Structure 1
Amino acid sequence: MGYAAIFIAGVILGAIIVIIINHYRQKEMKESFSAISLDALRKNSEEFLRLANQTLSTQTQTGVGQLEEKKKLIDQTLDGIKGELQKVENSVKEFDSKRELAFGAITTQLKNTAEQTNKLQGTTDKLQLALANTRARGQWGERIAEDILQLVGFVENFDYTKQKTQEATGTRPDFTFVLPQNLKVNMDSKFPFDNYSNYINAESNSDKDSYKQKFMSDVRKKIKEVKTRDYINPEENTVDYAIMFVPNEQVFCFLHENDANVFDDALKDKVILCSPVTLFAILCVIREAVKVFKLQKTTGDILQLLNAFNKQWTDFKKCMDKMGEQIEKAHEEFGKLKTTRSNKLEIPLRKIDALSKQKGLLESSLVDEEPELESSIEGESEEEP
């Protein structure tokens, strides 16, 4: 029992010692591990901080470079925007300058227009007063017609006559235009403006209608008057129509708008109503017709001259042919004279020349050569045709 108790006590004591030793070992290991952990943590922290600083430095440098590039791009963009803004500012200034000039020009033009309008109004008033007189209206219509004639290029007493009395009827048209083949066309330039002027100045619609009807009636009466004045007269070589001149385009348009049948009725009476524009066209047609007629007449004269020239040319060729034949015969005779006759005349000359050369020779030589000379002379005589 005693040994068992001692053994148990020893075991317990050993266990306690082991526990105490383990406790101290664990404590030492914990302290060592803590120290090692702190050292490793410190080293890791330092390495981390170093890497972090290095990475941050690299990124900072990269960021600075990128920021510089972005700054350059932003500066370039700002410079471009600044340039565009400067252009816009210059354009605005230029536009303001031009606008001021334009407004000044418009203002000046408006002033001039107002002045011209006032002058035109004054001229219109004077014209209305002048047209109140029948004689003045006729003179005004004649003046308008003369201006158109000058514009076309007509010459008085050549292309037209003015206020010339017709011998057969005693009437006196305002204008007579000369046509080809001695034909003529007469024109009346006096037009009834009274009721039209009253129509323009009337204030109420009833007055306007009344004056309009009176004006249309005056126009139809004037057409009948032109018809009955013998402006169409075969004895005077006139054409089958006469011209009634309306010296105002506005009045002419008024007739078209309010009574278009008046033109057809006038044509039935062989009277042509024409405004300044249509008169210009008619006169141009007359001018071209006269030119064509003169050209045709000139062409006929030229053809006659060509026929006469052709006849003379034929006679000339015959004479030339005869002269050519005679020249050929003379040339043939001349050839004969130059060849055959000339050769025959030269034969005695050659003989005389030969005799002259032989004259100075010795008599013996002359006697020896005499038969040869005679034989040569006989031979040449036989060769003659």
Structure 2
Amino acid sequence: MTLTYVIFGLVILITSVASYWMAHRGASQLRLELELANAELINQTESASQSLQKLQQAQEDIGDLEVRCAQLGSELQSVRVSEHAYRKQVNEKEHALRQMNGELSQAKVAESAAKAHLNAKLEELQTEILRGQSLNSDLRQLNEKYSIAMGKIGELNTEIDTKQTHFEQQLTLLKESKQELSKEFERLANEILERKGQAFKQLNTESMSSILNPIHQELRGFKSKVEDIHSKESEQRVQLRTELQNLQKLNREITDQADKLTTALKGEKKVQGNWGELMLENVLDNSGLRLGIDYKREVSIESEEGRFRPDAIVYLPQKKHLVIDAKTSLNAYTRYVNAEDAVERERALREHTHAVSDRINELAAKEYSKLPGLNSPEVVVMFIPIESAYVEALKADSNLFQSALEKNILVATPTTLLTSLNIVKQLWRFEEQNKHTAELANRAEKFYSKLNTFLLSMEGVGKQLDKAKETYDRALGQLHTGKGNLIKQASEFKELGVAVTRELPAELVEKANLELEYHPSSATLTVIDSPTNN
């Protein structure tokens, strides 16, 4: 029976193998392999008979093994007893391990608390570090602004020195040109005068005086104008240095006054507005600009969108305008200064920053540069009367300055506005100097043109004098020199019995009777042969 099962199992195995091979190969190959498998099955059947014999031998071996298993069962019982003792030891170790795990959990809790405390301290330290970095950044920005302002002052001084040097060079050139022209004119005048006869000396002197006097007067006026401009330039340089030295002191005084007045403001918008305009007016007055000439206050401008009234309009060279607005709310900043609680200070500072940002957006929306009658750049100056109010807003929002510039709004404090207005004042001075320089150049051009015309006229006068002298000599020769001159003929009328009431000058009659030929070029007399001399 057992052999049958074995054989049946082998058949099933071989059939499965055959099915597997038939599933993965072609039908013809599968048939061949099936035949081979059948042959193998026969062989296996024979082998099964042999295996049956071996199985019987194995059953005998199993009996031996059962005896051995009994022995092993006894040994297993001994092992189980040992295992029980071992399990007991393991349980004790596990109990000890659980106690150690409990202690480890408590240690981990303590460690977590320590880490949380350490993280809190690290966060506080990082906050302080960030605050220090922010303060350092603000300090660097302030130093950069100060450096930029000092650089602009240096550029202005350099420009002043350059213009002074250029002006002195022009003045030296004009003086040299004046001297050269005077020498050339004197040489030409002397040359012309030396060529003329002694008889025309007085006439030439009077004519030259009448011609040269206007030129001398023009030269004196030109020299006076140059010296006046040079004197004004020197005075302006001294005034500029004095103003730059006093600028920092004046800015500190204005800032201190602003801080003191801020503590007196209690959120009244009208009072704040009036005070901001008053501070703006003080800065404009201290800048040296003239009200009604260099700037105007509260100019009303009508447009299609309504009426606009900027606080101040500063006039720039080339007929341009700069709009300044001083209407800034400081309610939140006042609360920030007076707050005693850190939370309240932070809230007030946040509101103050929003108020400044809202004011920037409000000014940008007005578009002052598009108003009729204003030739203004797109930038509008927003005046904050308290230096520290703007600094605190920048600390709270470092992008505030850049955001304002992107909206064409330039935020100014008393310090920066006063510096800018002083630069405007210097621009006007340079504009006046340029006008004077242009006027000098124009007058020099006119003087040169007039001198050229005068020299041409003098040359014409010389030619006319030469021609007149030639005509005079020719007429003089016809009168009392040469053969058949008029005086000799008149004398002959007397010899012929013509009655005369007044005698001719004897000297002229004597010369006329000699009939000498006069040559002006050589100033010599030549005796002409006459029949009466034979």
Q: Any unmatched runs of 5+ in structure 2?
A: 1-255, 492-513, 516-525
Residue 155 of structure 1: aligned partner? 290
2:460 aligned with 1:322? yes
Residue 276 of structure 2: aligned partner? 141
Q: Between 127-136 and 225-234, report the one with greater CA deviation.
A: 127-136
Residue 271 of structure 1: aligned partner? 409
2:338 aligned with 1:201? yes
Between the aligned partners of 1:249 and 1:383, the Cα distance in structure 2 is 114
2:347 aligned with 1:190? no
Displacement, 1:288? 2.3
- Give the TM-score, by structure 2 length: 0.39
Residue 233 of structure 2: aligned partner? none
Residue 241 of structure 1: aligned partner? 379
Between the aligned partners of 2:369 and 2:428, the Cα distance in structure 1 is 20
CA contact (8 A) 1:243 1:273 kept: yes
Between the aligned partners of 1:125 and 1:314, the Cα distance in structure 2 is 69
The within-5 A match list for 1:286-325 is 286-300=424-438, 302-325=440-463
2:418 aligned with 1:283? no
CA contact (8 A) 2:265 2:334 kept: no
The within-5 A match list for 1:172-187 is 172-187=309-324
Give the alignment partner of residue 225 of structure 1, picking from 362, 368, 392.
Answer: 362
**Residues 145, 131 of structure 1: alpha-carbon distance in 2 compared, 3 angstrom cutoff:** farther
**Residues 245, 165 of structure 1: alpha-carbon distance in 2 compared, 3 angstrom cutoff:** same
Displacement, 1:315? 3.2
Between the aligned partners of 1:123 and 1:280, the Cα distance in structure 2 is 14
Displacement, 1:282? 1.0
Between the aligned partners of 1:131 and 1:338, the Cα distance in structure 2 is 108
The within-5 A match list for 1:32-181 is 128-130=263-265, 132-168=267-303, 170-181=307-318
CA contact (8 A) 2:301 2:371 kept: no
Between the aligned partners of 1:153 and 1:123, the Cα distance in structure 2 is 20
2:391 aligned with 1:253? yes
Displacement, 1:301? 5.0
Displacement, 1:213? 0.6
Residue 55 of structure 1: aligned partner? none
Residue 382 of structure 1: aligned partner? 529
**Residues 237, 167 of structure 1: alpha-carbon distance in 2 compared, 3 angstrom cutoff:** farther
**Residues 167, 305 of structure 1: alpha-carbon distance in 2 compared, 3 angstrom cutoff:** farther
CA contact (8 A) 1:175 1:188 kept: yes
Q: What per-residue deviation string (whole Å, max 9, x for no partner) do you get for residues 116-141 of structure 1?
A: xxxxx999777534453212112212
Displacement, 1:300? 4.4
Amino acid at match of 1:229: K
Amino acid at match of 1:178: Y
Between the aligned partners of 1:186 and 1:299, the Cα distance in structure 2 is 30
Between the aligned partners of 2:443 and 2:338, the Cα distance in structure 1 is 66
RMSD (CA atoms): 3.8
**Residues 141, 320 of structure 1: alpha-carbon distance in 2 compared, 3 angstrom cutoff:** same
Amino acid at match of 1:314: N
CA contact (8 A) 2:265 2:272 kept: yes
Displacement, 1:257? 3.1
2:357 aligned with 1:210? no
CA contact (8 A) 1:171 1:230 kept: no
CA contact (8 A) 2:280 2:326 kept: yes
Amino acid at match of 2:353: M
The within-5 A match list for 1:348-359 is none
Amino acid at match of 1:266: A
Q: Between 189-198 and 129-138, report the one with greater CA deviation.
A: 129-138
Q: Between 264-273 and 176-185, report the one with greater CA deviation.
A: 176-185
Displacement, 1:249? 1.9
Q: Any unmatched runs of 5+ in structure 1?
A: 1-120, 352-375
Q: What per-residue deviation string (whole Å, max 9, x for no partner) do you get for residues 266-296 of structure 1?
A: 0011000111110011112222223333444
CA contact (8 A) 1:165 1:171 kept: yes
**Residues 229, 150 of structure 1: alpha-carbon distance in 2 compared, 3 angstrom cutoff:** same
Displacement, 1:180? 1.9
Amino acid at match of 2:359: K
Between the aligned partners of 1:259 and 1:271, the Cα distance in structure 2 is 16
**Residues 313, 138 of structure 1: alpha-carbon distance in 2 compared, 3 angstrom cutoff:** same
Aligned residues: 240
CA contact (8 A) 1:185 1:238 kept: yes
Between the aligned partners of 2:326 and 2:267, the Cα distance in structure 1 is 16
- Give the TM-score, by structure 1 length: 0.53
Residue 239 of structure 2: aligned partner? none
CA contact (8 A) 1:195 1:212 kept: yes
Which secondary structure state, in structure 2, belongs to the residue aligned with residue 167 of structure 1?
strand
Residue 10 of structure 1: aligned partner? none
Sequence identity percentage:
22
Bigger Cα Rg = 1
Between the aligned partners of 1:267 and 1:300, the Cα distance in structure 2 is 37
Q: What per-residue deviation string (whole Å, max 9, x for no partner) do you get for residues 125-160 of structure 1?
A: 775344532121122122222222122211111111
Between the aligned partners of 2:427 and 2:378, the Cα distance in structure 1 is 17
